[in-house]
Amino acid sequence: MNTDIVKPENLVYSRTKVLTDATMHYCPGCGHGTTHRIVAEVIEELGIQDQTVGIAPVGCSVLAYNYFDVDFQEAAHGRAPALATAVKRLNPNLFVFTYQGDGDLAAIGTAETIHAANRGENITMVFVNNGIYGMTGGQMAPTTLVGMKSATTPYGRNVELNGYPLRLTEILATLPGTYFVTRQSVHTPAAVRKAKKAIKQAFENQKLKKGLSFVEIVSNCNSGWKMTPVQANKWMEENMFPNYPIGDIKVEGKLVEGIGLDRLVVSSPLTVK
């Protein structure tokens, strides 16, 4: 170690204090860890640690409350937006966010998600979409691509048997209650920077009281996809991104220019390459 460089005054990056010291239980390379970290960094940078309440889901990030050094509630599966609704309505000065996976948010919690968005709740929702149920052992999620293998689609997702993958983020963007809707990823330094900027915006928007801010993070599931982390990130770029395009969908209550019906309405199944 070069002690001329490693001095407190030269520190340019270190783990945020809004994360606890607990070692996260996530698999190596999992995007949940990165997403947790940037949410925590945003809370630190906005100076709102003492005014933030998080809502954890059921799924891989069920223990998120152990990792954020902010007050946290653990919801029943899919119900985080209902909890967040009440927390915010009863405590309008708090910054309230949900942190949910695809099964929690887009399957069992679809009703709570859509209605919280449609009521225009002034909360932030962080949605980690890795196309699979990680915690329970890699079963099909609402976002599993057609042809994608999972524990319950061992021959690949089949539309006749399993129906179509769901792009809930685009659906939410069509609702008048959403103010900011974006899809990001956290697998490269540049992507992480953009995702963090989006999350920061999503938190700052709560002060405006103009509706719900929604950040989807397209992520990996190395264990569920049965790949190394580096392979999984490559597979994600090749297969997930064409179906779940990265970028802002709705900003300041308006659909981003160029986002038209052809983007909002899925006309052909989301399929693996």
In 10 A of CB 202, how many CB atoms?
24
Binding flag, residue 136, another protein (CB under 8 A): no
Strand, helix or coil for residue 74: strand
Binding flag, residue 271, another protein (CB under 8 A): no
Going by C-alpha positions, the residue among 74, 64, 169, 61 that lies closest to residue 113 is 169
121 and 113 Cβ atoms separated by less than 8 Å = no
Residue nearer to another protein on the CB measure, 62 or 256 = 62
141 and 132 Cβ atoms separated by less than 8 Å = yes
Taking the complex as a whole, the smallest distance from the CB of residue 61 to another protein amounts, in Å, to: 12
Taking the complex as a whole, the smallest distance from the CB of residue 255 to another protein amounts, in Å, to: 24
Q: Which of 193, 207, 209, 226 binds another protein (CB under 8 A)?
A: 193
Residue 248: strand pairing partners: 182
Instruction: Name the amino acid, one letter, at 30.
Output: C
* Separation in Å, CA 271 to CA 54, 150, 156, 264: 34, 14, 10, 17
Residues 91-110 within binding reach of another protein (CB under 8 A) = 91, 94
Selected range binding another protein among 131-139, 154-162, 173-181, 225-233, rule: CB under 8 A: 225-233
Binding flag, residue 115, another protein (CB under 8 A): yes
Residues 11-30 within binding reach of another protein (CB under 8 A) = 11-16, 19-20, 23-24, 26-30
Going 248 to 123 to 44 to 47, the CA torsion angle's sign is positive
Taking the complex as a whole, the smallest distance from the CB of residue 91 to another protein amounts, in Å, to: 6
Binding flag, residue 260, another protein (CB under 8 A): no
Residue nearer to another protein on the CB measure, 157 or 187 = 187
Residue nearer to another protein on the CB measure, 110 or 271 = 110
Binding flag, residue 83, another protein (CB under 8 A): yes
Report the Cα–Cα distance between both ends of the chain, in Å, rounded: 45
